[in-house]
Structures are given as C-alpha cells and as structure tokens.
Amino acid sequence: MEELVGLHEGSSGKPVTLQELWGPCPRARRSIRGALEWVKERLFRVGEDWYFLMAHGVLMALISYAMNVAIRSVVRGSGIPEVKTILSGVILEDYLDIKNFGAKVAGLSCTLATGSTIFLGKLGPFVHLSVITAAYLGHVRTKIIGESENKTKKMEMLVAGAAVGVATVFAAPFSGVLFSIEVMSSHFSVWDYWRGFFAATCGAFMFRLLAVFNSEQETITSIYKTSFRVDIPFDLPEIFFFVALGAICGVLSCGYNFCQRSFLFFLKANGFTSKLLATSKPLYAALAALVLASITYPPGVGRFMASRLSMEQHLETLFDNNSWALMTKNSSPSWPAEPDPQNLWLEWCHPQLTVFGTLVFFLVMKFWMLILATTIPIPAGYFLPIFIYGAVIGRLLGEALSVAFPEGIMVGGEVNPIMPGAYALAGAAAFSGAVTHSISTALLVFELTGQMVHALPVLMAVLVANAISQSCQPSFYDGTIIVKKLPYLPWIRGRKIGSYPVTVDHFMNCTLTTLAKDMPLEEVIRVVISTDVTQYPLVETAESQTLVGIVKRNHLVQALQMEPASRAPGQQPCLQDILAGGCPIQPVTLQLSPETSLHETHNLFELLNLQLLFVTSRGRAVGSVTWVELKKAISTLTNPTTPK
C-alpha cells in the first residue's frame, strides 16, 4: 500500500507524508530542517572529503594518545608490586582510578598480540584490572547503600579482586586465592578466605564456561591436558631427581632475580637509557621489541627456539609424556615447513641441534631476552614466561634421564619408563615458585592439567627451590618494589643478625611535636605553620605530656579558620577551646613501649597495615615509629657499618 501524501497549506512545493503533515509543531520542524539544509550546503561547499580527512586525523590522534597513556608509568609493567603496596596500607594516588582500566586493556591487548615474540603474559595486568574493578564496585556499593567509606570493607574487596585476577587467568580458583595471599599479603585474615574463594570460583567457572559457549571445548575441562600414567606415575628413586630439579630451579631463580634487578638498576643509573625511558618510552619499547622480534624470527635463529609456537602451545608440547630424545634416537626428522598441529613437538627437534640443543639454546637465549622484555614500559605479565622457562628446565632434565635410563628405572622387578612431561610439570612449578617466593604454584600446575598423581614430587621440588631462593634473593615482585622505590617493609631475614634484642628504644624517632590542651592558640598556629605532619599527638598538659589522643591536621586547620577573631578582653584562647568547639579527637587505640621488640613492632605494622605508632613511657609521649625508622633499623642489622 502506497503511503498517503499531502501538501502544506498555501504551499506549492513537493508533497510530504501525512504523518509529517499532521505532526506536532510543523512550522518549527520545517524551520529547523531548513536551517540544517543551509548549514549542510555551506559546509560541503568545500568538499565533504576534507571533513572525513579531518575526522581521520582526529581519530588517529586519539588512538595515539591512548597508546601513550597505555605506557605511562601508572599502567605499565606488571601491576602486582603496586597492588602489593596498596594492600599493605599505602595509598598510591590514581593507581586504582577507573580511567586507567581502558589504557591497561589497550596496552595488554597489544602485548598479547605479539604472542611468543616478546614472550610476555597477562597475569600481572589482569590482577591490576581486577583490583581496579573491585575498587570501583566497592565505591558503587557504598553509593547505593548510602553508607560512608569503610577502609576495612574496601580492603576486603581489593583482596578478593586480587584473587579473582589470578583465578580467571588460569581458571584455577584454589591456587589463585593462595597465590594472591602468598605474593601480595604478608598477613591474611581468615575472614577474607570465603570471599576470595567465592569470587574466584565464580570467575574461574565463567572463564571455562565461555570456552564451551565459544565451541573451544566440548565441556568444562582443564586447560592443558596430560596423559600421565596413573597406576605408577613415578618410582621412588625418582624422588631424588625431582629434589635435584628443585635445587637447580632454586639456583637459577636466584641468578634470574639478581640479573633482572641489576639490569633495572643499570637502566636507571645509565644516563642514556634513563633519559630514553623518561622522555621516549615508545621509542625504547620499539627498539627492545625490534631486538626480540629479530632474534625470534622463525626462519632465522628463532627456528632453534620453537618460536613458531604460541605460549600455550609451548606448555602443551612440554607436558608431553613421551620422550622426544628416544623418539628421534635412530632418525632425524626434518623440520616441517609449517607447524604440524598433530606433531607440534617437532618444533623442538631441529636437525642441526637435536632436542637437547634446542632446549639448551632456548634456556640460554630466553634468560636475557626475558630480562630485556621485563624492562619494556608496557602492560605485561611476567609469570607465564617464567612458568614456561621452568617447564623447559624440567623437560631438559627429563629428556636426559630418559636417555640415561632408556628402559626406565627398575624397582621390585618392574621397569617403568621415565616421563619427561612430569619433570616439565615440576620444573614449571619449582622455577615460577622460586622466582615469586610462592608454594601455591604446585597446586596451580595440578589445576591447570587436572592431574594430581605427581603431587608429592612436585611439592618437594617447589619446597627445595623456595628454600634456596628465599634464603638468597628477594622475590621478583619484591625486587621490582625495591627498584621502583615503592613504600614497603622489608622482612627481617636470618637469625644471625642479632635482631631479637633490638627494642623500640634503639630506633624510635625521639623528635616529637605534641600539642597540649592548655597550649595558647598563637603557639598552636605557629606549630601548624612550621610543620607538615598529617596528625599531632594530643597531650593533657605541656608539663605532664600524657598522651590522650590524636588530632588530624586538616581538622585542626578547619577549626582554627572558624575560630572567631574577637574575644572578651583578658581572655586568652587555648587549644582546649578549639577542641570543645567540635574539633574531633581520635583515640589512641594502640601504642608502643620503649621495651617493645623490633619483631613485635614489625608484626604489628604488617598485620594492621599501620603507617605510624606513638611510643609512650608511663603514659608520657616520648617518640614515634614509622616505616622510615623500621626500614632503617632492619637495614642497619642486615648491613652493619664497619668501625673505622
């Protein structure tokens, strides 16, 4: 049916639809339409292509700006060291701002698009994204409920967010929660356990469910499938080799953490690189990426490092329970022109180097290449690369044992063959656990593969590797905190440094600015102007110095500004009048004694996420202790000054 048309009254123009003719305000709409037609005619007189060219330039400028934002210092790197600092009670301005979410996602997407070329993952940035989301949802929750900001509730949301970030990367809720506790918390409240597990389980379940919906999997299964023998997965004498593997991973992790931290210090100390990183981060990132891409180019040197495989395919092949060395013992398979999906392990068997040559070459090259990649100022995760690196270490040992014992190890009259994939599993858990100082990586490999048959040897390898690493070097994330000079409390390591006799009296700050209730306002104003502390200890009188509370600087300044300028003749105002007028006083719920030990003080600061504690002796305020005094005391014990 044709649409009915009509003419405007007194008009000789073209017909219009009746809907338009009878619509509301026809004259106003005709005037607006005419004005728009006039604007369009004037604008496109110069050619519409110029406007599209301008839009193209503006769009690319926005993309360029977004890329620059993505590599700013606030979103570059892993994110776990900063999250660890925040969970310790330190406020990092703008780090959890929701505007950083888009920049982090954009930068991380570009990083992951490089695949195994730059050899970086997504765990750290994903933890940062998860914590940002948790902070934003917590803020939304307080707005909806209408309650005030609660620091405890906020910290609970951040802790759960860190656990979800790990769990949704590997679809491993148990190890995700435990890893976040080990890496990002020195003390953990049992109250936060069920919250973290609940959120992590929901995230991991949805992550695997999306794989089913996307037809990547038929059902919910483990990410990396293995076919290890279940009846007798390993022989008792093999425990020795797993322990030796843990020792090897522990020693190599110490070397890796030391070299990585030293290289970061070198970049900051060197004039050229420090200036380049300060003014031209994109240029440094491009140069480093060019070096890494040139080396991993598959037709070049990259053919000896299985560079045609993705990071996921690296793990799939390394967890293979067949011995490549025995399979290629009597024949040398040709290097395929393209990766064979059914035989991806052939990428590790180049005829010129054999299996052992490619594995050793991978370890040597990736050692320094991974250190270089960690310095690129882009959002990137560093856990998956060291996880793969550890799997290669284990695979190399497993292949060597399979050649040394081609028939297997004989126990009780039975011979069971060596499974190199099991050693790769243990190596991945041991090396990554040693680098990050965590034991939950043992549980992580079981959740990733769905196998629990090697629980005992893997756990023993992880424990040995951690024992060596923690006694020699700080973890990867602690080293990054040290290099970035983020606020942190170092551990009190070792029993031979003489830390137990040290008390608060030895290292407290005795210079304490107190405010007495009977102090005249002129003197109070002079103290506020001459100091920049955020809070003042309030004492009963200037003579007694009995600590009765804490006054915040901003509250005190606001009360002084509201104080009337004129008073009755002969009346001298004092601080008590300001306090009686409504200036809030915070109670001193916790205070130290000069006889409190260094260990007790350190535990209190870490357990309660404190920044400052006042020291009292018989009620008198005699000093204060902050992170500065604690770090100085620990540093003095660890590195004592030699007498001249």
Q: What is the DSSP string of 422-474?
A: HHHHHHHHHHHHHHHT-STHHHHHHHHH---TTHHHHHHHHHHHHHHHHHHS-
Q: What is the percent of the chain where pLDDT is above 90?
A: 13
The SS3 call for residue 270 is coil
Identify the residue with better confidence: 16 or 100.
100
Please report where in the chains the tokens 């590790």 appear, as a residue. Answer: 348
Q: Residue 496's CB: how many other CB atoms inside 10 A?
A: 5
CB under 8 Å to 617, separation ≥6 — which residues?
Answer: 593, 594
Q: Which DSSP state fits 88?
A: T
| Per-residue pLDDT, 88 | 77
| Per-residue pLDDT, 229 | 63
| Per-residue pLDDT, 1 | 41
Tokens of 616: 């009292």
Residues across the chain: 644
Q: What is the percent of the chain where pLDDT is above 70?
A: 80
Q: For residue 414, what are the CA distances in angstroms to 101, 232, 419?
A: 58, 11, 16
| Per-residue pLDDT, 644 | 46
- Say yes or no to pLDDT of 63 above 70: no
Mean pLDDT (whole number) for 600-612: 84
Q: Which of 19-28, 206-215, 558-567, 581-590 has the lowest average pLDDT?
A: 19-28
Tokens of 573: 């105002």
Q: How confident is the model at residue 51 (pLDDT cuts 50, 70, 90)?
A: low
Mean pLDDT (whole number) for 478-498: 76
| Per-residue pLDDT, 275 | 84
The SS3 call for residue 626 is strand
To 10 degrees, the CA torsion angle through 333, 338, 340, 345? Answer: 60
Backbone torsions φ then ψ of 124, nearest 5 degrees: -60, -55
- Say yes or no to pLDDT of 287 above 80: yes
Identify the residue with better confidence: 181 or 414.
181
Q: Residue 340's CB: how many other CB atoms inside 10 A?
A: 11
- Say yes or no to pLDDT of 386 above 50: yes
User: What is the rounded radius of gyration, in angstroms, for the C-alpha atoms of the chain?
Assistant: 33
pTM (two decimals):
0.78
Closest alpha carbon to 116 in 424, 394, 384: 384
**644/623 Cα distance (integer angstroms):** 30
Tell me, what amino acid is at 140?
V
Q: How confident is the model at residue 584 (pLDDT cuts 50, 70, 90)?
A: confident
**250/409 Cα distance (integer angstroms):** 26
- Say yes or no to pLDDT of 137 above 90: no
Pairs from 346-352 (Cβ < 8 Å, separation ≥ 24): 347/306, 347/308, 347/309, 347/317, 348/306, 348/317, 348/324, 349/324, 350/303, 350/304, 352/304
Mean pLDDT (whole number) for 422-440: 92
Please report where in the chains the tokens 């970061």 appear, as a residue. Answer: 264
The SS3 call for residue 625 is strand
- Say yes or no to pLDDT of 390 above 80: yes
Tokens of 325: 């060395």
| Per-residue pLDDT, 3 | 46
In sequence order, what are the beta bridge partners of 621? 616
The SS3 call for residue 121 is strand
**127/167 Cα distance (integer angstroms):** 9
Closest alpha carbon to 548 in 556, 560, 561, 538: 538
Mean pLDDT, the chain, as a whole number? Answer: 79
Q: What number of H helices and E strands is found in the chain?
A: 26, 9
| Range among 171-175, 206-210, 432-436, 560-564 with highest mean pLDDT value | 432-436
CB under 8 Å to 432, separation ≥6 — which residues?
Answer: 383, 386, 387, 390, 438, 441
Mean pLDDT (whole number) for 95-110: 79
- Say yes or no to pLDDT of 18 above 60: no
Q: How confident is the model at residue 50 (pLDDT cuts 50, 70, 90)?
A: low
CB 393 within 8 A of CB 314: no
| Per-residue pLDDT, 424 | 92
| Per-residue pLDDT, 178 | 86
Q: Where are the beta strands (DSSP E) in 60-196?
A: none
| Per-residue pLDDT, 134 | 84
Identify the residue with better confidence: 269 or 568.
269
Please report where in the chains the tokens 């695979």 appear, as a residue. Answer: 395
In sequence order, what are the beta bridge partners of 586? 550
Closest alpha carbon to 317 in 247, 394, 373: 394
- Say yes or no to pLDDT of 397 above 90: yes
Q: How confident is the model at residue 45 (pLDDT cuts 50, 70, 90)?
A: low
CB 385 within 8 A of CB 370: yes
- Say yes or no to pLDDT of 447 above 80: yes
Q: Residue 45's CB: how many other CB atoms inside 10 A?
A: 8
Identify the residue with better confidence: 59 or 355.
355
| Range among 71-75, 129-133, 383-387, 525-529 with highest mean pLDDT value | 383-387
The SS3 call for residue 386 is helix
Identify the residue with better confidence: 628 or 7.
628
- Say yes or no to pLDDT of 144 above 70: yes
DSSP assignment string, 320-356: --S-HHHHTSS--PPPPSS--TT-GGGGG--TTTHHH
| Per-residue pLDDT, 469 | 93
- Say yes or no to pLDDT of 523 above 90: no
CB 418 within 8 A of CB 402: yes
Closest alpha carbon to 291 in 368, 359, 377, 357: 368
| Per-residue pLDDT, 2 | 43
What's the pLDDT tens digit per position in 529-545? Answer: 888 888 889 888 888 88
Q: How confident is the model at residue 637 (pLDDT cuts 50, 70, 90)?
A: confident
What's the pLDDT tens digit per position in 334-360? Answer: 777 787 778 888 888 877 888 898 999
